[in-house]
C-alpha cells in the first residue's frame, strides 16, 4: 500500500508541475559572435599566408613543418599530397591537434579539394550555384577556410594555405594513397 501511495504521489507531482517550474535547458557551447570575432582576426592574418605551390613545396621540405589534410579519412586514404598527415576536420579538438602538432609554432601547410582541378573522384570541388535572381553566382565552400579559422582559434598561428589551383597533370606534385598504389601496380 505504501508503494502505491508513493507512486500516486510522484505521478501527481509530475503532472502538476507547470512548465515554468521545470529547470531551464542549458545552452549549447556555441557562440556565433565569438566565431564572427575570430573570423575578423583570421581574415587579416590569412591574407598574408596564402602561398603558391612552389612556396608550399619549399616550405614542406623544412624542419618543423607538416602538411595537414583535413578531408575525410576515406578520401585521404585514396589520394593525398605525399607526406601529408591526416586529421579529419570534424575531429579537431585541443588534444587531437596536439597529438599531431605538439608545438604550436610548427608551420602547418593546408590544402583542400578546391586546390585541385581535373580529379573530381579524389578532389571533388566544393561549390554551389546560388540563383537569387537572374544572375547565377557560384559560391565555393572550400574546407581550407574553416580549417584555417579553427587552427588559428586553437592557437596555431603559423599556418600557410595553398592558394594555387593544381591541375591533374602538374608534374611538380607527388601523391600517395591507395588509388596511387593501384595505379602503379597495374602498370
CA-CA distance, 144 to 112, in Å (whole number)?
Answer: 6
pLDDT digits (tens, 9 = 90+) for 45-102: 999 999 999 999 999 999 999 999 999 999 999 999 999 999 999 999 999 999 999 9
Q: Which residues pair with 68 in a beta bridge?
A: 85, 110
In a domain, 28, yes or no: no
Q: Which three cell numbers stand for residue 184?
A: 602503379
Compute φ and ψ for 45, nearest 5 degrees: -65, -45
In a domain, 30, yes or no: no
Does position 183 have pLDDT exceeding 80, yes or no?
Answer: no
In a domain, 5, yes or no: no
CA-CA distance, 174 to 187, in Å (whole number)?
Answer: 17
Tell me the CATH number at 104: 3.40.250.10
| More confident of the two residues 108 and 2 | 108
In a domain, 145, yes or no: yes
pLDDT digits (tens, 9 = 90+) for 140-154: 888 999 999 999 999
Amino acid at each position: 500500500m505504501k508503494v502505491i501511495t508513493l507512486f500516486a504521489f510522484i505521478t501527481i507531482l509530475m503532472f502538476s508541475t507547470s512548465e515554468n517550474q521545470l529547470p531551464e535547458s542549458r545552452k549549447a557551447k556555441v557562440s556565433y559572435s565569438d566565431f564572427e570575432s575570430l573570423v575578423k582576426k583570421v581574415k587579416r592574418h590569412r591574407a598574408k599566408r596564402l602561398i603558391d605551390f612552389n612556396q608550399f613545396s619549399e616550405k614542406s621540405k623544412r624542419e618543423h613543418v607538416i602538411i595537414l589534410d583535413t578531408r575525410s579519412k576515406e578520401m585521404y586514404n585514396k589520394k593525398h599530397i605525399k607526406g601529408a598527415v591526416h586529421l579529419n576536420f570534424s575531429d579537431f579538438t585541443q588534444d587531437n591537434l596536439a597529438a599531431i602538432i605538439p608545438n604550436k609554432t610548427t608551420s602547418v601547410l593546408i590544402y583542400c579539394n578546391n586546390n585541385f582541378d581535373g580529379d573530381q573522384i579524389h578532389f571533388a570541388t566544393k561549390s554551389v550555384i546560388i540563383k537569387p535572381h537572374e544572375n547565377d553566382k557560384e559560391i565555393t565552400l572550400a574546407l581550407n577556410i574553416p580549417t584555417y579559422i579553427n587552427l588559428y582559434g586553437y592557437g596555431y598561428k603559423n599556418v600557410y594555405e595553398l592558394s594555387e589551383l593544381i591541375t591533374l597533370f602538374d608534374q611538380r606534385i607527388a601523391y600517395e594513397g591507395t588509388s596511387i598504389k593501384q595505379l602503379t601496380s597495374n602498370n
